[in-house]
Amino acid sequence: MSFSVNVLDRTLDLVHQALNEFDKPDYKLSNVIRKAIRIARLRNDFENLWWLEEEMIESRERKARERIENEILPHYSGKDFEEARRDVLRASFSERSVRTFEDGNIVDDDMLCDLAVPSIEDRIKSLTEDAKQQVPPPGMHTLDLYHAEQRYSKIRAHMRFTANEYAVVLRRIENRVHEFLSMTEKQLMYGQMNSDIFERNRQYVDARLQAVAPEALAKLVSVYRRLGEGDEEARSQALLSCRRILKSLADSLYPVPAQPVRGADGRERDLSDDKYINRLWQYVYEKVKGKTAGDLLLAQVTDIGGRITRLYDLSSKGVHADTTEFEVNQAVIQTYLLIGDILRLAGGDSAVYAEQE
């Protein structure tokens, strides 16, 4: 797929900003990770988005973890999701192992640091500063001062050891973040806007559409060709193709019903031939109702349908200045992802089905 140089440059510039953070004095890894999260989301890089988001939340933040997983669930089959989860956990355990300091001895007892990166940074700072304050009060007798210094020395040693262990954890995470950014930089410099997982999703969509809605697959080929042409008319035709693809998918998965259908709000929904977004929405709703990840997918159906319609209406009216190549590219990418998510539901192997109640 052809992408605007501006889109690539914009993302590449963000990567360079993140990489340059490492060279700043007193830089914070948490600031770099926030930029890395933006980059991963822009590139639909869900594998890296997952662990990057995990680095920024505390282990006790269950709702935050569910939010992350619910964002990612629709883009995976159940099997692939569990495999990705295991990879995230394995890497976390490897990065976050810490030793403890007990009675002057270093103990390696498989302890894990479960703090978010910002909290680790704060803890290192507070431990370092507090250790400097651990000194005997002035005016003590020489003998008392000796014993007090022994006690305070142990406290300082414990604090500094703990701070150092936390710093080791940060360095491990830092190395992984730097590797992610440098690999992303290389891919972008070679013109690969989307991540490898998007390319795997594209292959999945192509294979499944051939079986479910072959006419939609033919339209996708047209979208690729139109985007490659790069002019205003091509963008308009690409958007038209996106609309036709979604309609073909709706016709295949949820044909116009013979009887009225009541939606989630209890009202009858207009599921006529031209209301293909409504039909896709109803299809997804009937498959995933009651699941949080399903609600996010429903919102995605509405958002993408509305976005494509808005952009197409603007372009067909000749308001080309308001339909940038970036917007059209993003609409096509999100259409591809949405089709993949819906096809996984249709195939019965979507990770959304495995969401815990």
Check: CB of residue 290 under 8 Å from CB of residue 195.
Answer: no
pLDDT tens over the chain, length 357 residues = 444 446 778 889 999 999 999 999 889 999 999 999 999 998 889 999 999 999 999 988 989 998 999 889 898 988 999 999 999 999 999 999 999 888 778 888 778 999 999 999 999 999 999 989 888 888 777 777 888 888 888 888 889 999 999 999 999 999 999 999 999 999 888 777 777 777 777 788 888 888 877 777 777 766 766 666 666 777 777 888 888 889 989 999 999 998 888 776 677 888 999 999 999 999 999 998 888 888 888 888 988 888 888 877 776 665 445 567 777 777 888 888 899 999 999 989 899 887 654
Rounded to a whole number of angstroms, the distance between the first and last alpha carbons of the chain is: 38
| Residue 239, CA distances (Å) to 31, 66, 219, 313, 354 in order | 36, 34, 11, 9, 33
pLDDT computed for residue 228 by the predictor:
60
Q: How many CB atoms lie within 10 A of CB 38?
A: 17
pLDDT computed for residue 230 by the predictor:
62
What is the chain's alpha carbon radius of gyration, rounded to the nearest angstrom? 26
- Which H or E element spans position 269? strand 268-269
Alpha-carbon gap, residue 308 to 240, rounded angstroms: 8
Nearest CA to 84 out of 125, 114, 49, 40 is that of: 49
* Distance from the Cα of residue 176 to its chain's centroid: 16
Stated pTM of the model: 0.79
Between the CA atoms of 299, 301, 305 and 306, what dihedral angle is there, to the nearest 10 degrees?
0
pLDDT computed for residue 241 by the predictor:
83
pLDDT computed for residue 201 by the predictor:
79
Check: CB of residue 238 under 8 Å from CB of residue 332.
Answer: yes
Extract the tokens encoding 205.
Answer: 């969509």
Q: Is 102 helix (H, G, I), strand (E, B) or coil?
A: strand
Helices (H) and strands (E) in the chain, counts: 13, 4
| Residue matched to tokens 């003590």 | 140
Check: CB of residue 66 under 8 Å from CB of residue 292.
Answer: yes
Alpha-carbon gap, residue 65 to 71, rounded angstroms: 10
